[in-house]
Amino acid sequence: MEEVSKIAHRTPLKQSATLNKWTGGKLYMKLENLQRTGSFKLRGAYYKVSTLNDFEGARGVIAASAGNHAQGLALSCSLRGIKSKIFMPENAPLSKIEAVKSYGADIVLEGDNYQAAYEAAKKEELVNGSVFVHPFDDYDVIAGQSTVALEMLQQNPELKTIVVPVGGGGLLAGIALAVKSIRPDVRVVGVQSANVSAVYQAFTGSSKKPLSRCSSIADGIAVVKPGEITVPVISKYVDEMVTVTEEQIAFAMMFMLEREKMVVEGAGAASLAAVLFHSQLAAGQKVGLIISGGNVDPQKWSFYKGLADKLNMKRIS
């Protein structure tokens, strides 16, 4: 995917001695929180925008996003001189809203979750004829996200498992397709917040109904309705899925802040929470964790710490 490499950073694959000791495995964190725009989402957004012809570009681009897709798409459009209009939930982190504005996009705040913003964006699409760029249910977006796995396997060919945070499933679908096409022996594990686990429920067959609520500190993966393209891919190629609680996600966020001196958002910390609290995923294995983003509202850190402390686990020094 040479097109993506023109714009996206080749982010580090980093180890932590503390995490290796805690889990009994060798963990390698793919730090997409250090990616341009602070998230892996730039990869899929840029690849999609790169496929638009001049006629499509002249129509402008429209999208819905909780924040990370919005930033990646806004930057991608600005690099091509394409106008973008992005619908975001009213409760999206202020840091993400301001970042999207800084990349030149027009913003509309709509509803209290991604689904409400999505529905508003689709109505707008019918009115103005812009090209809608879906944050996960799009083949080109999925292809762009797959470059995360390609880099990881180049950086460490000995990885045996890759753990991926999941919202609508675009990243997981891309990772699974890439991994299983070149390294079918590598296990692919998806992780969702237990509060918003639509893809997990579809994968396990525990429910086929859309979720009625969408509340999680992992706002980047808080999606009530999974993708029509992504779920069949995930069902076919992903080996396992797990869920983590809000407190476990918050603990992983605090670990990264206190021990690694890194700001990681809830969605980005989900994969770390998975190996910390599902011990079978890491013990005795070389495991890649996708730390998918680092866009956090700084005003909420005290809340995250309070959630983490509910676990009554020893603070990491």
Alpha helix segments (H runs only) across the chain: 2-5, 17-23, 41-50, 54-59, 68-80, 94-102, 114-128, 139-145, 147-155, 170-182, 198-204, 230-237, 246-258, 266-277, 301-309
In whole angstroms, what is the distance from residue 136 CA to residue 63 CA? 11
Region 54-60: mean pLDDT is 93
Residue 208: pLDDT band by 50, 70, 90 thresholds? low
User: Could you tell me what percent of the chain has a pLDDT over 90?
Assistant: 74
| Residue 265 tokens, joined | 């958002």
Note the pLDDT of residue 249.
Answer: 97
CA-closest candidate to residue 136, choices 224, 41, 18, 53: 41
Region 70-87: mean pLDDT is 94
Fold of the domain built from segment(s) 2-38+140-309: Rossmann fold (3.40.50)
pTM for the full predicted model: 0.93
Q: pLDDT by residue (tens digit) across 137-164?
A: 999 999 999 999 999 999 999 999 999 9
In whole angstroms, what is the distance from residue 232 CA to residue 143 CA? 15
Note the pLDDT of residue 225.
Answer: 83
Q: pLDDT by residue (tens digit) across 5-31?
A: 889 999 999 999 999 999 999 999 999
pLDDT of 309 > 80? The answer is: yes
Q: pLDDT by residue (tens digit) across 83-116?
A: 999 999 888 878 788 889 999 999 999 988 878 8
Is the backbone of residue 81 left (phi > 0), alpha (psi -120 to 50) or beta? Answer: left
The structure tokens 């509309």 sit at: 108
pLDDT of 316 > 60? The answer is: no
Residue 313: pLDDT band by 50, 70, 90 thresholds? low
Buried b (16+ CB within 10 A) or exposed e, 41-56: bbbbbbbbbbebeeee
- Specify whether 292 is catalytic: yes
159 φ/ψ angles, rounded to the nearest 5 degrees: -60, 140
Residue 213: pLDDT band by 50, 70, 90 thresholds? low
Q: Which helix (H) or strand (E) holds 31?
A: strand 26-31
Region 62-74: mean pLDDT is 91
Note the pLDDT of residue 207.
Answer: 65
- Specify whether 193 is catalytic: no
CA-closest candidate to residue 313, choices 278, 261, 272, 276: 276
In whole angstroms, what is the distance from residue 243 CA to residue 222 CA? 13
Q: Which whole-number Å values give the CA distances from 263 to 8, 73, 162, in the listed order?
A: 19, 22, 21
The structure tokens 């999680």 sit at: 216
Region 43-61: mean pLDDT is 95
Catalytic residue among 41, 48, 85, 180: 41
Strand, helix or coil for residue 112: coil
In whole angstroms, what is the distance from residue 232 CA to residue 271 CA? 22
Burial class of residue 305 in the structure, from the number of CB atoms within 10 Å of its CB (0-12 exposed, 13-18 middle, 19+ buried): middle
- Per domain, the residue ranges of the chain are 2-38+140-309, 41-136
Are the C-beta atoms of residues 231 and 199 closer than 8 Å to each other?
yes
Residue type, 237: Y
CA-closest candidate to residue 175, choices 147, 197, 154, 140: 147
Are the C-beta atoms of residues 214 and 223 closer than 8 Å to each other?
yes
Note the pLDDT of residue 94.
Answer: 80
Pairing of strands 84-88, 106-109: parallel
pLDDT of 211 > 70? The answer is: no
Residue type, 194: A
Do 2-38+140-309 and 41-136 show the same overall fold?
yes
pLDDT of 317 > 70? The answer is: no
Region 260-277: mean pLDDT is 96
CA-closest candidate to residue 304, choices 244, 254, 268, 261: 254
Structurally, at CATH architecture level, domain 41-136 sits in: 3-Layer(aba) Sandwich (3.40)
Residue 206: pLDDT band by 50, 70, 90 thresholds? confident
Region 250-264: mean pLDDT is 95
